[in-house]
Structure 1
Amino acid sequence: MQLVPNPQAIRAAYPAELKTIMSIAEARRTRAWLAPWKHLAPEATPLWSLPKLAAQLGLGAVWVKDESKRSALGSFKALGAPAALSRLVLREHPAWDASGVLRGDYRAKLNGLVVISATDGNHGRALAAAAQSAGVRCVIVLHQHVSAEREHAIAAFGAEIVRIEGNYDDSVSHAAQLAEANGWRVVSDTSYPGYEEIPRDVMQGYGALVDELAEQGTEPFSHVLLQGGVGGMAAGVASYLWEQWGAQRPIFIVVEPQQADCLLQSALNGVASKATGSVDSVMAGLACGETSPLAWRFLAPTVDFFLTIEDQQAVDAMRLLAHGAMGDVPIVSGESGAAGLAGVLALALDQAFRARVGLGPEARVLVVNTEGATAPSVYQQLAGRSAEEVLLAQQRWQTT
């Protein structure tokens, strides 16, 4: 476990140059035209309070924004990929209705469009579902560490699967090569030189989950812990809260696997960098070796600390949530979904770390449960309960 402060972090108003890329106004616009999509829940995802865990840790409050309930697709990625696909289509057909793209209104006119992406699972599943809704052909590139269970979930939405050796970053390169050779369109959640517009659209889609927080009646958070990966989700959430609160923004802490520490390395090097470890992690959605340069433009000035955790810490957090922490609500949280809470536990239980990041009795901490049981058999093995058992326990908890 390693905690690294970010010397580039600042406290100031949200810069105008970043606002032209991502903004609250665009997040709300995206949320409005995504809302009718059949694969999204019609209501906001829950914001669970964990008061007993907070008391045990000596914190003022711990809140969990539960994206496992965003969609039957199982993760927050259900906001990013459809947003990017829709914006891609609308840039070429600006007179079309935004919600109509995912409703399939233009299916006949889009039958020549092919989209492709690499994925660790959740982004590819969301893109496949969005493409199926719109009537677009979809190709998904999977690396050797993506489970057959996740592959089948993607293929169920009609996507064509391409398997390669190597890791996530190798699959990103392969997808770009196939797109170039065949004239397909890459819809990726990571940027690279010459490719930023669509990753921006993906990140802007994630702002919808933050937009809901203002309607859920919470006071400002003092600390927000966000999963790493290539940095897209963290950038989408942090940019919104930075614009909203300006210099009074929360303390942002990014959590990533110890062996996939590309964002922590970016903080050490001062530029978007690569991970130093093997990258492979039980936190499959965070097993990324290269920082998205576009995401880093937002993370460099906003994230105060970067924290790496071990796989077992994420598994322990999964189990704690599944069984209801000390009588708090049971929550279905997948391997990557539990990383934020794992970070809270790691920091709060280490006196030196908690002092460095300012986790005291007044701290109001937000974590995002980014996924549910997207690989059900893996979830049950790691959490010690099936997702169905956890949801039944959750229902019982709500009625007592």
Structure 2
Amino acid sequence: MGKYDIQLFVNPQAEYREYGDGEREILNQEAFAEAKEEISSWPGYEPTPLIELQGLAEESGVGGMWCKYEGTRFGIGSFKPTGPTYAMLGVLKKEVAKAIGGEVSSADLVEGKYAEITRDMVMAAATSGNHGRAMAWGAGMFGCRAVLYMNDGVSKGREEAIKSYGGEVVRVEGTYDETVEQLHVDAEAHGYSVISDQSTPEHPQVPRAIMQGYAMVADELIEQIGAPPTHVFVPGGGGILTGACCGHLWERYGRERPRLVVVEPTASCCLYESGRAGRPVKVESAASVMDGLVVEEASAEPVALLNAGAFAFLTVPDQAAVDAMRGAADPLGADPAVVIGDTGSAGWAGFLAAVGDGEIRAALGLDGDSRVAVVVTEGATDPAVYREIVGRTPEEVAGA
């Protein structure tokens, strides 16, 4: 028995075959090439770092360990600009093209060529922080408005971060799903375009565009790591990022792909339950330190990808996330200190929980030959929350 009360579901549906037509319908290299060309052209783009953690690898009894660190992405603090911002751009270009009766380029929007049109366009979403921050940043770049809906449990610091990029915040009492409901009511009433993990009749392409953009994370990891990893631990949530990583790694490596492990809070684990059921499952509203992963119902297409391609689904308690954040700030051996936000800690927490439990370690096939990559999706996106958990500021940890 390990240190934590964790749940593991090794996926019996995982098919170790080549990437198929059904998967390519959702995600494919051709569409990704377009996303990569676009995102890498934006001001400030550079690949996020892949941090080697040899001290932690030796302590954990694996051959090598790396952290794909998304806390530096476009200076926003998380991986999110690759997804919602990219999807938002597609919607904007489509709507402006409709208004002018011609083609529109990204450069046209960045340069403000159609500012008289875009300034009245509203891109809207429900958010726990990072999704909204990325949209507010993108709205500033492309010249539109971003209206972000947050439930009353989201910290004030995350609201202020969105506002600092020019985003408009609407607070809603209740759960995340109740916030989503209010978003859709207002969007229909005011003509907002919803940029969400769930498709809408007006913009059904948005979830796939978000996933295709998120595949940048996996693509950069592949380019940076050299020999392929044997295992990749990815935070769950609504499934878009995990689906993107699963699809991209599967298409790239085929039947020899790494074992993808989806990690969620035990309190809110819709992907774990969907994996067990073999179909999308809605779970009860809950609360977790890993607030950005608290989702009641995952998107259908990522669930289909994960149920066919993910090796396992793992849930961890909040204490594992707290311990991961503190451990990353106080590293082993010559490993660098890493500032991990609460939501971003899930993959790291899942790895530590797994190697600390003999049965789960064996079930995942983690041994001295394993090359493990952990996706850390954010830095300290709310410095006050980070300091409360870790006991030091992000600056103190980064400068240690």
> In structure 2, how many angstroms separate the alpha carbons of the residues matched to 1:103 and 1:349?
52
Once the two structures are overlaid, the 10-residue window that deviates more, 315-324 or 90-99, is 90-99
Secondary structure of the 1:180 match is helix
Secondary structure of the 2:328 match is helix
> In structure 1, how many angstroms separate the alpha carbons of the residues matched to 2:111 and 2:240?
26
1:24 equivalent to 2:29? Answer: yes
Alignment equivalent of 2:67, drawn from 61, 64, 68: 64
Once the two structures are overlaid, the 10-residue window that deviates more, 164-173 or 228-237, is 164-173
RMSD between superposed Cα atoms in Å:
1.8
Alignment equivalent of 1:52, drawn from 38, 52, 55: 55
Shift of the 306–102 alpha-carbon distance from structure 1 to 2, 3 Å rule, reads farther
Q: Give per-residue Cα distances to partners, 1:315-364, cap 9 Å, x unaligned.
A: 10011111223431111110111110111111111111011110011111
Once the two structures are overlaid, the 10-residue window that deviates more, 343-352 or 151-160, is 151-160
The residue type equivalent to 2:352 in the other structure is L
Partner of 1:295: 302
Conserved? CA contact 1:86–1:102, under 8 Å? no
1:232 equivalent to 2:240? Answer: yes
The residue type equivalent to 1:175 in the other structure is L
Partner of 1:198: 206
Partner of 2:3: none
Secondary structure of the 1:327 match is coil
The residue type equivalent to 1:239 in the other structure is G
Shift in Å, 1:219: 0.8
Alignment equivalent of 1:178, drawn from 172, 186, 197: 186
1:107 equivalent to 2:143? Answer: no
Secondary structure of the 1:139 match is strand
Where in structure 2 are there 5+ consecutive unaligned residues? 1-5
Conserved? CA contact 2:31–2:212, under 8 Å? yes
Conserved? CA contact 1:116–1:179, under 8 Å? yes
The residue type equivalent to 1:37 in the other structure is W
> In structure 2, how many angstroms separate the alpha carbons of the residues matched to 1:99 and 1:167?
38
Secondary structure of the 2:58 match is helix
Partner of 2:282: 274
Shift in Å, 1:218: 1.8
Partner of 1:306: 313
Partner of 1:380: 387
> In structure 1, how many angstroms separate the alpha carbons of the residues matched to 2:107 and 2:281?
37
Partner of 1:260: 268
Partner of 1:397: none
Shift in Å, 1:99: 4.4
Identity of aligned residues (%): 40
Conserved? CA contact 1:138–1:160, under 8 Å? yes
Alignment equivalent of 1:148, drawn from 141, 150, 156: 156
Shift in Å, 1:295: 1.6
Conserved? CA contact 2:10–2:363, under 8 Å? no
Alignment equivalent of 2:215, drawn from 183, 193, 207: 207
The residue type equivalent to 1:310 in the other structure is P
Secondary structure of the 2:399 match is helix
Shift of the 196–358 alpha-carbon distance from structure 1 to 2, 3 Å rule, reads farther
1:354 equivalent to 2:357? Answer: no
Q: Give per-residue Cα distances to partners, 1:223-269, cap 9 Å, x unaligned.
A: 11110101011011111101001111111110000111111111122
The residue type equivalent to 2:368 in the other structure is P
Conserved? CA contact 2:279–2:304, under 8 Å? no
Partner of 1:2: 7
Shift of the 263–192 alpha-carbon distance from structure 1 to 2, 3 Å rule, reads farther
What are the within-5 Å matches in structure 2 for residues 54-93 of structure 1? 54-92=57-95, 93=97
The residue type equivalent to 2:323 in the other structure is D
Alignment equivalent of 1:328, drawn from 335, 338, 344: 335
Shift of the 195–105 alpha-carbon distance from structure 1 to 2, 3 Å rule, reads closer
Once the two structures are overlaid, the 10-residue window that deviates more, 161-170 or 19-28, is 19-28
Once the two structures are overlaid, the 10-residue window that deviates more, 296-305 or 114-123, is 296-305
> In structure 2, how many angstroms separate the alpha carbons of the residues matched to 1:187 and 1:274?
21
Secondary structure of the 1:224 match is strand
> In structure 2, how many angstroms separate the alpha carbons of the residues matched to 1:313 and 1:69?
24
Partner of 1:318: 325
Conserved? CA contact 2:39–2:45, under 8 Å? no
> In structure 1, how many angstroms separate the alpha carbons of the residues matched to 2:111 and 2:338?
31
Shift in Å, 1:384: 2.3
Secondary structure of the 2:91 match is helix
Shift in Å, 1:29: 2.1
1:251 equivalent to 2:251? Answer: no
> In structure 2, how many angstroms separate the alpha carbons of the residues matched to 1:193 and 1:14?
28
> In structure 1, how many angstroms separate the alpha carbons of the residues matched to 2:279 and 2:66?
31
Conserved? CA contact 1:37–1:102, under 8 Å? no
What is the TM-score of this pair, normalised by structure 1? Answer: 0.93
Conserved? CA contact 1:222–1:251, under 8 Å? yes
